[in-house]
Amino acid sequence: MRGFWIYFATILILFDSNCHAVSPDVQGLPTSIAVGELETANRLIYTITATDADNDAFVCDVSSTVPANGPFVGLKDADTNLYGIYTDNPTFVFATNPVYTVNIECTDTGGSVGTGTLSVDVIEGDALTFNTLPASTTHDASTTLNGASIYTVATTDALGHTTKTYTMTSIPSTTSFTIDAGTGVVTAARDLIHEIYTSIKLYIQVSDGTISAVEVLTVLLTNVNNAPVFTNLPTSIDVLESVASGTLLITLVPDDADPGASLTYTMTVSPIAYASLFSYNTNTQQVTLSNGQNFDYETTIYFNVTFMVSDQYYTNGPFVLDVHVKNDNEPCYFDKTFYSLNTNEGASGSISLNPNFIISDYDGISAYSLTFSTANNSERFTIDASTGVIGFAVDYDIDNGAMASTVILTAVCTDATGETGTTNVEIIIADVNDNAPTFGSASYTLTVDQYTDPGALIGTLLPTDADSGINAEYTCSATTTHLTGGTYYNIGSDCGVYLTATPLGNLDYGTMVRFSVTATDKGATPLSGTTFVDVIFREATPTTTTTTTTTTTESNFFDDPGSLAAFIICVLLGTILLGLLLYMCLRWCVTGSCCGTDPCDFCNWCRGDGRDCCRRKQRRTRKRAVTPETPERPRKPPKDEFEYWKEDDAPQSRAGTKLSRSSHLSRHRDYPDFPQAITPTDISLRPGPRIISPRYY
């Protein structure tokens, strides 16, 4: 049965020890202490040193076991809060009980027990007695100077030891008093104006080398200096990490009860590394977050800021201000303020650009999403909300400046609390060769005439290429199926149309040579476009310097069918008259009479000058040679050809001058309706040659 109870108690102790695992620890016990056989007063003979690691409150009890019921008791000093071993109405008899075994049991609130054991030796015939120590002694703090006597302790040793040693501690602790170890004289250790306590307990211990005794002398002080204080410290404040620098944290309230006290102050910050965060204006007593400084919850959440205040006699403190930094929602941020990316133009969704953003959050790890700010045509781009990969939201085309080739966008990260951070993303978009050179017209017609100098640039084709840079540069090449035409004309790689040799005498007026022209751009994968260029050799009337400005409203004589008919009739009448005259001259030469039997004046003119007259007429009808000054009238073209070889007296066409269809028809009203008019903007012409409308064969 007894075994059961031990077992049960052990279970209880084990159970209990789960809550209060550590029992109070009784430390530093000597093996033995001594007490005089003749001691009769209740004396503190030993002060127990015990701690509890759990910081549980505990009580200590003292009992003697061998022999049992010895005169000892455990008591707690109300001032020191320390347990001691006290004698309890002792009557020691050395002869019968020279040694007591004393057990110390300290039990915490959880029931855990710490124990210690020591021996108390009874010293035969010994005792230490304080000679009528008063309860208190009173002094004027304002006038008691350093060294002044406070009290002289006197003791008696029953064994007559002459060497006694005095020591002293004080509650509250102060440096105002000292005791002479040999004489027991207590003196002021400084001017007592520096003392702030009005009542100080001096624990005076005397020892004869074997036993010791302790008694308390209370020193009461009048006219004590009032210690300066901060009436609103200690205290604790919470502050958001996001508060602006300069923010007022607290205004301290110092106080000194002594009229006219002059106070000085100091501040100390712990951890010391953050001392610069706090500013203390001792005039305004304002404690602020220093200018240019910020709290950061993620770095430090607590600061111990302490203040000392001094009057001229006493420095009081530390007064503690606990500063607790509170977390605030803070933004995400990018590792760089600027990113630059290169890509080619392309279709919607065709590219994948990764800026490799590194995004952090001042709050630590925090989810975020990515977007572009709406600006600079950001809607043309996509950004993956989590990876930051950028693409085209539209078919991106920089040709002809349709869309910018360099764009700066603002990328925004938004964290879970809605806080945002931004960075700039530059996207440089390169042209790709996605446009072929194109001609504005399916064909062009140029003319040369007998005056055009060999080597002359007749015109230049100006195809357009919607790409940019080298992708928009091009060269021309040309072929012709005209057997001889290629000898006289050349189309260079510069897209210029040149006359290489005069066709005069080799090509008939009206001969048209057709070239197939290909313009090829210089892109990595070249693209090309084609057109036809027709070059017509035609006859021109002599040009005068005023032709281009004075003939704007004249119509060509031969353009008018009535004029043409009148001309033909005149030629026929003239021929008949000439034939009649020739007949009359011939008759005169044979018969001597040109007008029958009666020669007339006309015949006389013939007679005197007839040969010259007849020869001149004959030479005139035969004249066919071409001279540059008076070019021959063109031969009549075949009836099924158009008279495109004729001089066009309309204003000369120049690059940049749009010919309207109505004016074209009025000048060429005999001509059929042509399928294509020249687009002057994509061909440049030298001033000399004139454009006539293209036609197809």
Ligand X SMILES: *[C@@H]1O[C@H](CO)[C@@H](O)[C@H](O)[C@H]1NC(C)=O
With contact defined as beta carbons under 8 Å apart, do 266 and 287 qualify?
no
Distance CA 679, CA 695 (A): 14
- What is the amino acid identity at position 352? S
Nearer to ligand X, 25 or 322 (CB): 322
| DSSP helix/strand/coil, 40 | coil
Rounded to a whole number of angstroms, the minimum distance from the CB of residue 527 to ligand X is 31
For residues 371 and 555, which CB has a smaller minimum distance to ligand X in the complex? 371
CB 57 to ligand X: min, Å = 21
CB of 248 to ligand X, least distance (A): 21
The nearest distance, CB 446 to ligand X, in angstroms, is 46
Angle at 652 between CA 648 and CA 658, to 5 degrees: 115
Residue of 39, 45, 28, 35 whose CA lies nearest to 84: 45
Nearest to 503, CA basis, from 446, 558, 444, 460: 446
Q: Nearest approach, Cβ of 385 to ligand X (angstroms)? A: 18
Complex with ligand X: residue 350 or 373, whichever CB lies closer: 373
Find the angle CA(228)-CA(230)-CA(236) to the nearest 5 degrees: 155
In angstroms, rounded to a whole number, what is the distance separating the alpha carbons of residues 152 and 639?
159
Q: Rounded CA gap, 616 and 55, in Å?
A: 152
Q: Cβ closer to ligand X: 424 or 684?
A: 424
Identity of the residue, 320 or 582, whose beta carbon is nearer to ligand X in the bound complex: 320
Secondary structure of residue 608 in the 3-state scheme = helix
Tell me the closest approach of the beta carbon of residue 318 to ligand X, in angstroms.
4
The length of the chain is: 697
Q: Which is nearer to ligand X, 16 or 379 (CB)?
A: 379
- State which residue, 97 or 270, has the beta carbon closest to ligand X: 270
Q: How far is it, in rounded angstroms, from Cα 480 to Cα 476?
A: 14
Bridge-based pairing state of the strands 496-499 and 457-461: antiparallel
Nearest 5°: the CA angle 531, 532, 534 is 155
Q: Which token pair is 42?
A: 């209740």
Q: Do residues 298 and 260 lie in contact, with contact meaning Cβ atoms separated by under 8 Å? A: no
Cβ atoms 487, 500 nearer than 8 A: yes
Looking at the Cβ atoms of 318 and 689, the one nearer to ligand X is 318
Least spacing, CB of residue 376 vs ligand X, in Å: 4
Question: Can you name the residues that pair with 320 across neighbouring β-strands?
Answer: 306
CB of 408: closest distance to ligand X in angstroms?
A: 4
Nearest approach, Cβ of residue 375 and ligand X (Å)? 3
CB nearer to ligand X: pick between 72 and 357: 357
Three-state SS at 238: strand
Interacting residue ranges for ligand X, rule: CB under 6 A? 270, 304, 306, 318, 320, 373, 375-376, 408-410
